[in-house]
Amino acid sequence: MKKIYGSAAEALDGLLFDGMTIAAGGFGLCGIPELLIAAIRDAGTKNLTVASNNAGVDDFGLGMLLQSRQVRKMMSSYVGENAEFMRQYLSGELELEFNPQGTLAERMRAGGAGIPGFYTKTGVGTQIAEGKETKEFDGETYILERGIKADLAIVKAWKADDTGNAIFRYTARNFNPPAATCGKVCVMEVEEIVPRGSLDPDHIHLPGIYVHRLIQGAHEKRIEQRTTRAA
């Protein structure tokens, strides 16, 4: 099965449609599938529901899809770095399904594992629990959260072989693997594609069985919050 494509646009060909749900990996600007996001912007696909920890910044990452008004709903955890996100949400232009970070990651993981829902204590007694089913276990209250199943997963890895076996670096490993597994189709961009068999099996974070299409590209790796000290 051919998995390697020449560009992000080629890898997304035939997969995009208006109103679809996309699970996107990364945290802030770390480990985000920036090439695939740019290709979705260029394709003009609209009315998107995007499950991602946040929406990047105003002019980069998922923030570009907000600028182009292609996103209808965000399923997010941390939403504090994007002024356009805030503007659209407060004006009623953008729907937000707010999730605690661990809950969002577990919803993706559960969807990828075929688990339709799970109970968690996180959010009990808060707005997070409003309208959700509750159940008592051992005298404590838990809320039911649904697993996420997306039409498409877009993720970024550090290295992968031609079958899609992938390694993520540091914090890029937080949301990328669960996002990859919960998509009906997963498209992954990587910094380097290495020969099959060159990756230590014990170091692989995502098995290639989850990856359907693969591209290699150059990445900007922008810094979200640059902090320096005086010389």
Q: Quick one: tokens of 11? A: 């890898």
Whether residue 161 lies inside any domain: the answer is yes
Q: Helical H runs in the chain?
A: 8-12, 34-43, 63-67, 83-90, 101-112, 176-181
Q: pTM above the 0.75 mark?
A: yes
pLDDT in tens, 213-228: 999 988 877 777 777 8
Residue 127, domain member (yes or no): no
Residue 114 in this model has a pLDDT that exceeds 80: yes
d(CA 28, CA 110): 22
The tokens describing 53, both together, are 């920890």
Q: How far is CA 135 from CA 71, 72, 78, 119, 123, in A?
A: 34, 32, 27, 8, 13
Q: Is 126 part of any domain?
A: no
Residue 98 within any structural domain of the chain: yes
Instruction: Flag whether 227 is in a domain.
Output: no
Would residue 121 count as lying in a domain? no
Q: Tell me the Ramachandran region of residue 28: left when phi exceeds 0, alpha when psi lies from -120 to 50, beta otherwise.
A: left
Highest mean pLDDT (candidates 78-82, 151-155, 221-225): 151-155
Domain coverage including residue 111: 8-116+148-216
The CATH number given to whatever domain includes residue 161 is 3.40.1080.10
> For residue 56, what pLDDT band results from cuts at 50, 70 and 90?
confident
pLDDT number for residue 134: 96
Q: Does residue 56 fall inside a structural domain?
A: yes
Question: For residue 13, what pLDDT is reported?
Answer: 97
Is 132 a member of any domain?
Answer: no
The tally of domains found in the chain comes to 1
Question: Between residues 57 and 51, which one has the greater pLDDT?
Answer: 51
Which tokens is 1 given?
């099965």
Q: What is the pLDDT of residue 67?
A: 94
